[in-house]
Amino acid sequence: MDLEKKVKETYDLIYKKKFGILFIRSFVIAFRISTQSARLTTTEAEVGLEFSKTTTSENLPKNEVVQETLREAINSTTFNVTFIPNTINIINSPLTTTAPSTNSSITAITANTTTTPTTPTTVESTIRRRLTFRTEETFTTDLLNLSSTAFRNRAALLKSNLEPFYRNVFPSLRNFTVISFSNGSIVNNIDLKFATASAPNETQIVDVLVKAVSNITVFVIDKGSIVVDVTYPENAKGFRASSQDETSITLQWNKINNKISFVLQFNGTETFISAPEGDGPVNYTVSSLSPGTNYTFTLFSVFDNIRSRGVQLTAATASKNAYASIFYI
């Protein structure tokens, strides 16, 4: 049974027992990976609870009751999902509050924990290029085995003879990795990883090897066989729904660098989002949505008109008379 189904079944069982016909359903808004400490990685679950739309606000359960219902149930009963009790919070509610400086009907309930501010960091984006060329040598089948002595020796030979040429020309080179060999004399396949912000193009990569051929004596490279295939930029990290109401969902993800832009795809449409300035996460709000509905979003990173493979997220808008809770499992 998948995690979403387990969570929904557990919620439905707990809240149906407590509130009867007043409770309609639960729905998963999002799952997110959360690192609680250097040694503990957990899953943060954001789950919605929908109560009857005909129920007046006076008859809806208080936020504290919704929260305590789940906490008491998991402390007294074993379910298919293992909850961490002290992490349960109500983050959205249909009930109005007297909280100052807000015109929203959203109620935030937080645990008595201390949060240490963190400084946003931008992880260096990299892009891979596949370098392929033929050398005039006899191919042997043991070169197909990545664990063989023949493969390791040849990989080391290529790396020691070719990598210095690329490092001298391209300071942005981060990795030089021999991937495979195939028959045809010997066809050599190498992945070059560069910092995206200053990555060379295919022609520049080919030119380095063409110019180096006359200085290489341990094998003979066929200049006409040298090609470079473009590989995809990396996907954005931390893609999640940061907030939602009945008609909109705000999406958030980590910025990669100033040269990486994004394309957001959903409901058969695509939206181009330019590379943002400054540090910190990227935020984008999708509006004019229907209440209580699941939407699937696909986010692509784009560099030099080349898209990443894409990362996908399903998130739901809030329903009328719906609460949103979070917890760790």
* CATH number of residue 201's parent domain: 3.30.70.960
The answer to whether residue 132 scores a pLDDT higher than 70 is: yes
Rounded-to-integer distance, Cα 197 and Cα 310, Å: 20
Measured from the Cβ of residue 40, the count of other Cβ atoms closer than 10 Å reads 10
Residue 97 in any domain: the answer is yes
Are 242 and 99 found together in one domain? yes
* Cβ neighbours for 19, distance < 8 A, ≥ 6 positions apart: 51, 61
CATH assignment of the domain containing 259? 2.60.40.10
**The last residue of a domain, from among 215, 233, 251:** 233
The answer to whether residue 118 scores a pLDDT higher than 70 is: no
Number of domains in the chain: 2
Residue 313 in any domain: the answer is yes
**The last residue of a domain, from among 189, 209, 233:** 233
**Do the beta carbons of residue 295 and residue 267 sit within 8 Å?**
yes
Between 256 and 124, name the one with better pLDDT: 256
Are 194 and 280 found together in one domain? no
pLDDT score at 325: 62
Q: What is the pTM of this model?
A: 0.46
Whole-number mean pLDDT of the chain?
A: 80
Residue 188 in any domain: the answer is yes
Quote the domain boundaries for residue 168.
126-233
Are 100 and 168 found together in one domain? no
Are 109 and 16 found together in one domain? yes
pLDDT score at 101: 33
Residue 28 in any domain: the answer is yes
Are 242 and 193 found together in one domain? no
Residue 41 in any domain: the answer is yes
With a pLDDT cut of 90, the percent of the chain lying above it is 29
**The last residue of a domain, from among 233, 263, 282:** 233
Give the least confident one: 35-44, 109-118, 226-235: 109-118
Are 143 and 288 found together in one domain? no
Between 140 and 32, name the one with better pLDDT: 140
Are 33 and 45 found together in one domain? yes
Buried b (16+ CB within 10 A) or exposed e, 104-119: eebbebeeeeeeeeee
Residue 121 in any domain: the answer is no
Residue 18 in any domain: the answer is yes
Nearest CA-CA partner of 297 in 245, 256, 253, 233? 253
Are 215 and 283 found together in one domain? no
The answer to whether residue 161 scores a pLDDT higher than 90 is: yes
Are 156 and 204 found together in one domain? yes
Residue 110 in any domain: the answer is yes
The answer to whether residue 113 scores a pLDDT higher than 60 is: no
Give tens-digit pLDDT for 224-282: 999 998 667 788 888 988 888 888 999 999 988 888 889 898 887 889 998 777 778 89
pLDDT score at 267: 85
pLDDT score at 323: 62
Are 164 and 244 found together in one domain? no
